[in-house]
């Protein structure tokens, strides 16, 4: 089996690739051409942000490896289409089993993470969405133009940049605001007083 590995730094990526290789799984560098993507970082949120946007649409089977499993991040990850999560310190055999389960669209999550998530919801304390970070000036400008209903091409023209740059800014902003679409981004920003 072949997987794509995404991580915010090359040392972490190399560690994950070595574990996969030990387990008999090949990590390839062919973006968007493999069924399973392994995203690794210290937190679930950072692992997801290390992946290009197309991996987070639910069309790819995503396995997250992390050290910390904050309930809000876990909840966000599940909404973003993550199929499985595992501790980054897991043995290669466990990692291989999680990769195969992810390939079969089976969900996997450490029991302590599930318990923490369930307790936070059962106790009447639903997992809160972290408050959005302040936006950069460019993100604020793009968000204001989005709120006015402008498409990416018009935003790019207004800000004298490429449409690709606008898409990247929107992607980063949506990750910061932890939203899945433009309308939700505008609504969240208005409620938070960011625009």
Q: Which fold has domain 137-191?
A: Arc Repressor Mutant, subunit A (1.10.10)
Domain ranges of the chain: 2-122, 137-191
pLDDT of residue 132: 47
* Global confidence as pTM: 0.60
The more confidently predicted of residues 143 and 58 is 143
pLDDT for position 123: 56
CATH architecture assignment, domain 2-122: 3-Layer(aba) Sandwich (3.40)
Helix (H) or strand (E) holding 156: helix 152-159
Contact call for residues 61 and 35 (beta carbons, < 8 A)? yes
Distances (CA, A) of 140 to 15, 161, 171, 185, 188: 37, 15, 13, 11, 13
Span 132-188, pLDDT tens digits:
457 788 888 999 999 888 999 999 999 999 999 999 999 888 888 888 888 888 888
Task: Show the 3-state SS of 18-40.
Answer: HHHHHCCCEEECCCCCCCEEEEE
- Cα 140 to its chain centre, rounded Å, is 22
> Cα separation of 188 and 107, whole Å?
29
């Amino acid at each position: 089996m072949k997987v794509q590995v995404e991580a915010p730094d090359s040392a972490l990526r190399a560690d994950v690739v070595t574990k996969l290789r030990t387990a008999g799984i090949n990590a390839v560098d062919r973006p968007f051409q493999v069924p399973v993507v392994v995203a690794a970082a210290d937190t679930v949120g950072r692992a997801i942000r290390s992946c290009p946007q197309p991996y987070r649409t639910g069309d790819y089977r995503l396995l997250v490896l992390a050290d910390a499993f904050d309930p809000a991040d876990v909840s966000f990850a599940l909404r973003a289409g993550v199929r499985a999560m595992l501790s980054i310190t897991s043995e290669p055999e466990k990692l291989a089993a999680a990769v195969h389960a992810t390939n079969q669209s089976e969900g996997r999550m450490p029991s302590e993470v599930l318990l923490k998530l369930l307790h936070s919801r059962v106790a009447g304390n639903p997992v809160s969405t972290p408050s959005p970070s302040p936006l950069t000036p460019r993100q604020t400008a793009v968000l204001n133009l989005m709120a006015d209903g402008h498409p990416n091409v018009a935003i790019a023209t207004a800000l004298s940049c490429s449409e690709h740059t606008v898409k990247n800014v929107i992607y980063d902003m949506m990750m910061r605001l932890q939203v899945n679409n433009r309308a939700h981004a505008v609504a969240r920003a208005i409620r938070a007083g960011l625009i």
